[in-house]
Structure 1
Amino acid sequence: MPVVDVPVSGGTSKAHYLVTGSGPGLVLVHGTGATGEGNWGPLIKALGDRYTIVAPDLPGSGGTRDPGGPFTLHDLVAHVVAAARDAGLDRFHVVGHSLGAVVATATAALHPDLVNSLTAHAGWVRSDPQMVFQFELWQHLARTDPAAMARMMLLTAMGKETLRAWDRTTFEQVAAAVTELLDGARDGLARQSAANAGVDLTGLLPHVTAPTLVISSADDRIVPPHHQHELVDRIPHARLLRVPGGHGLPAENPELLLTKVAEHLERLDPSRSCA
């Protein structure tokens, strides 16, 4: 997969990204502790025949190698823009989940000339004291106890109906798989959690000009729905869509998220419809 050099705080990042498909550009930005391909696999598979899809790994994730230490929101945006340009995209739609929603929103605000549309799931404007407390706990557990981190994330990221449907064996199997994933990405997860704690998009949101869909999961306990309501209030002409499920919708119900993203894109360009 391609790698592009990105100037960031402290030096140069070797940004790894996936590129596949054909058609208008569609950039997918992953959430905390994930990767581009891992977060967006079903969507990449479903939309690759209609869009040129670029999915970068943010600093601390996947194949990207950065200088280490803290990074800024501008550093994360730089990864998105560099991957898109290196893949040959002049303009693109951008979709983000959680931290990726924050980065996607900042990209739309800082580079309105590049962004055709914005879709943000589980995003937020500014980290309040409860979220800062949560993300500081994530930093600690990521570095000291990935198994506990995995269990906590399962209990808070999944929606109520999903958790009710699982038996003990399912909980243990999923927790083991998540623990293995997190154990190999302790430092990156901790640094991305630190970035989460410092989020403040307040001054950027009035500059978002692209058609915007904000998707809010009803059972989101990591970034509760009132945060998405605030995003819609602050982004000009943004539209709010409420869906069932939890914060981990890309894993919990990828078909639902895919459908809503595709519908938003098709509203803007009916020629991209799969019908």
Structure 2
Amino acid sequence: MTNAVPTACARTVHGSGPGLLLAHGAGGGIDANYGPIMEGLAAQHTVVGVDYPGSGHTPTTPMPLELDALADQLVAAADAEGLDTFALCGYSLGGPVAIRAAVRHPQRVTALVLSATFARVDTRTELAATIWHQLYDTGQHLLLAQYLTQLAVSAPLLNSLTPAQVRAAAEQTASALPPGTGAQVDLVRRADVRDDLAAITAPTLVVVTTADTLIPAALQYDLAAAIPGAQTAELTSGHLPFLEQPNHWLEIITGFLNRQRDQR
């Protein structure tokens, strides 16, 4: 459904060099999910990202979101920046978006990095997404933020905080929830790219967040196993690597991309 998103999603561009397209997670955005590592990514790449409807400066849409439309918006942003080829980096929901872009435009994709992501959510994660969606739609945003904190932050980090610190963080999260959260989480529940995985031809790295309780490591390893020749790298983090392990996450991504560039 190409009409499931606005004519053009808001675009973020940083740096110079080979192209690198970023796809963000549900309830997030390019700045929210990649801001802590953006400077490092942009040091060697022309980094281009788009915010999904209802995130960043992209308005909401009444239509359900579709992976193909989001993938095409991402590639259209590369076109607008004059990038003929590019690497793709997808985080969480951005993983299926990046996978769909890689399959639809194989001749243009030089590498694929998938972090904390899935091909299809399992029953447990679908339930978590259902609760997430319902809490958002019913306006229980502080409770939602507390729920997401419990799900998305690793136990060691969460237990290092006091209850007062956790509540303060949840209040900040609740105030920053993008208006497109509901539609984006709905897409998490529907997304299924399992049939696309065997068709991926780009060198692929799956970054497994090993302490992730929202997208369990088992789902991430299943994804990697279904992609021809995919490599894996483990990151000791919950679902928010940009919060818990930004420097290590950046090192893993840039190290892989540099190796692929050197081999071309």
Which residue is 1:113 aligned to?
107
- Report the TM-score when normalising by structure 2: 0.94
Matched, 1:157 2:149: no
Aligned partner of 1:98 among 78, 81, 92: 92
Question: What do the CA deviations read for 1:60-83 (whole angstroms, capped 9, x no partner)?
Answer: 211112532311111111121111
Which residue is 1:236 aligned to?
228
In structure 2, relative to structure 1, the CA distance for the partners of 1:107 and 1:10 (3 Å cut) is closer
Q: Gaps spanning 5+ residues in structure 1: where?
A: 1-6
Q: Which moved more, 1:22-31 or 1:47-56?
A: 47-56
In structure 2, relative to structure 1, the CA distance for the partners of 1:66 and 1:75 (3 Å cut) is farther
In structure 2, relative to structure 1, the CA distance for the partners of 1:257 and 1:172 (3 Å cut) is same
Contact 1:149/1:179 (CA < 8 Å) preserved in 2?
yes
- CA distance in 1 between counterparts of 2:79 and 2:47 reads 12
| RMSD, aligned α-carbons | 1.6
CA apart distance, 1:222: 0.7
Matched, 1:214 2:209: no
The DSSP-based 3-state class of the residue aligned with 1:119 is strand
- Report the TM-score when normalising by structure 1: 0.90
Contact 2:54/2:181 (CA < 8 Å) preserved in 1?
yes
Which residue is 2:187 aligned to?
195
Aligned partner of 2:241 among 238, 249, 257: 249
In structure 2, relative to structure 1, the CA distance for the partners of 1:11 and 1:83 (3 Å cut) is closer
The DSSP-based 3-state class of the residue aligned with 1:55 is strand
Question: What do the CA deviations read for 1:110-166 (whole angstroms, capped 9, x no partner)?
Answer: 211121100001111112222222211111111221111100111110112211211
Percent identity between the two aligned chains = 31
Contact 1:8/1:71 (CA < 8 Å) preserved in 2?
no
Contact 2:37/2:242 (CA < 8 Å) preserved in 1?
no
- CA distance in 2 between counterparts of 1:120 and 1:11 reads 23
Relative to total residues, which structure has the larger strand share, 1 or 2? 1
Which residue is 1:62 aligned to?
56
- CA distance in 1 between counterparts of 2:54 and 2:47 reads 21
Matched, 1:173 2:165: no
- CA distance in 1 between counterparts of 2:4 and 2:15 reads 34
- CA distance in 1 between counterparts of 2:71 and 2:53 reads 11
Q: Gaps spanning 5+ residues in structure 2: where?
A: none
In structure 2, relative to structure 1, the CA distance for the partners of 1:47 and 1:169 (3 Å cut) is same
1:15-54 aligned within 5 A = 15-54=9-48
Q: Which moved more, 1:100-109 or 1:204-213?
A: 100-109
- CA distance in 2 between counterparts of 1:11 and 1:149 reads 25
The DSSP-based 3-state class of the residue aligned with 2:10 is strand
* Alignment: residue pair count: 262
Contact 2:242/2:249 (CA < 8 Å) preserved in 1?
yes
Which residue is 1:77 aligned to?
71
